[in-house]
Amino acid sequence: MSEYEVLQVQAQPQVMQIDALERANVDSQVATAKQYPRDIRRSIDNSIVMATMDKETAQSCGYALPRGNKPITGPSVHLAKIIVSNWGNMRTEAKVVQINDRQIISRGTAWDLETNVASAFEVRRSIIDKYGKRYSDDMITVTGNAANAIAYRNAVFSVIPKSITDKVYRSAQNFITGDLSNEDKLKKAKAEWIEFFKNEYNITEEEIIKLCGKQTITQIRSNEIALLSGIHQSLKDGDTTVDEIMKPYRGTKSSKFKDIAGEAAGVKEGINQEGTKQTLFDDGSAKDS
C-alpha cells in the first residue's frame, strides 16, 4: 500500500447532485415519450426497409450457432440496433462491468420509456485460451466487444415484443434467399457459399453438408442457405470460431467407428514400452500393429 495515496472521499454532495440531474433527465425523457408515442406500424415498416436495404445488411441481421444436429438461429445485434433506431423512446446501453483472471463480464440494459419496461442481461466470456494462458489486452478488448454485443441483443429483444422482431427478421431472411425456386439459381447460390467457406474458413463441401444437417448437397435448400449466412455472420461478429463450429465434425468419425469395431471384436489399441503401437486382445495377448 506504500505505493498508493489513500484519500478520504468527500464528494457525497456532488454525487447526489449528479443523481438528481440524471433523475431529471430521465423524467424529461419519459415525459417526452408519453407526449409523442411511437407509431408501431411505421416503426415496423421503417425497420424492414432498413434491414432489407441490401444483401449485406440483410445477412447481418441473423446469426446461427450449430449445436449438435440442431443449429441455434435468431436475430443478431445488428437487427437489434436497426429496430431500436426505429422503435424510438428507448434507452439502451452495453458495457463491460468486470474483468477478472478468467472471465470478462458485460451487462446490457434496455428501457422502453413509453411502456416503462426495462431489462438487463449479463454475459460472461472466457479470456483464457486453450493452453490456459490469459488473452492479450487487445484480445480482451475484442472479447469484451463481443460480450457487449450479446448482452445488448438479449436486453433489447427482451423488451421489444417478439412479434415485432420476428416480422423484421423474417423479412431479412427472405431477402437473403430471394427466389430460389428455380434450380439453376439454387445451384448457383450453393456453389457460391461452398466456394466462400472453402476460401475464407477452410471448410470443405462435405463439412458444409454436415453443418446443414444433411446427407447430400442436393438436400440443401433455401433454409440451409439462410443458415450458412447466419453462420458466416456469427464468425464475422466473433460470437464463435471455426474450431468451435467444426469440433463435432472434425476428427470424430474415424475414432468413433474404431472404438465400436474394437469393442465388437474384443480388442483395443495400446502402446508398448518400446513405443510400438500394439493391438491388445481380451486374452492378454498382443500383436504389433
pLDDT per position as a tens digit, 57-77: 998 999 888 666 677 888 999
To the question of pTM greater than 0.85 for the whole model, the response is no
CATH architecture of the domain formed by 39-62+69-173: 2-Layer Sandwich (3.30)
Question: Model confidence at 264, in pLDDT bands (50, 70, 90)?
Answer: very low
Give me the pLDDT at residue 282, please.
46
**Range scoring the smallest mean pLDDT among 62-76, 135-149, 175-189, 258-272:** 258-272
The three grid cell numbers given for residue 1, joined into one nine-digit string: 500500500
Give me the pLDDT at residue 152, please.
95
Question: Model confidence at 280, in pLDDT bands (50, 70, 90)?
Answer: very low
**Other Cβ atoms closer than 10 A to 120:** 14
Distance CA 175, CA 226 (A): 10
Residue 64 near residue 73 (C-beta atoms within 8 A): yes
The three grid cell numbers given for residue 58, joined into one nine-digit string: 440483410
Question: Model confidence at 288, in pLDDT bands (50, 70, 90)?
Answer: low
Find, among 148, 126, 150, the residue nearest to 72 by Cα. 150
Q: What is the mean pLDDT of residues 251-273?
A: 40
Question: Model confidence at 250, in pLDDT bands (50, 70, 90)?
Answer: confident
Give me the pLDDT at residue 286, please.
52
pLDDT tops 60 at residue 268: no
Q: What is the mean pLDDT of residues 139-155?
A: 92
Angstrom distances, CA of residue 122 to CA of 33, 64, 75: 27, 21, 18
Give me the pLDDT at residue 2, please.
42
23-27, 116-120, 222-226 — most confident range: 116-120
Residue 259 near residue 102 (C-beta atoms within 8 A): no
> 55 or 48: which carries more pLDDT confidence?
48
Q: Where are the domains of the chain?
A: 39-62+69-173
pLDDT tops 90 at residue 87: yes
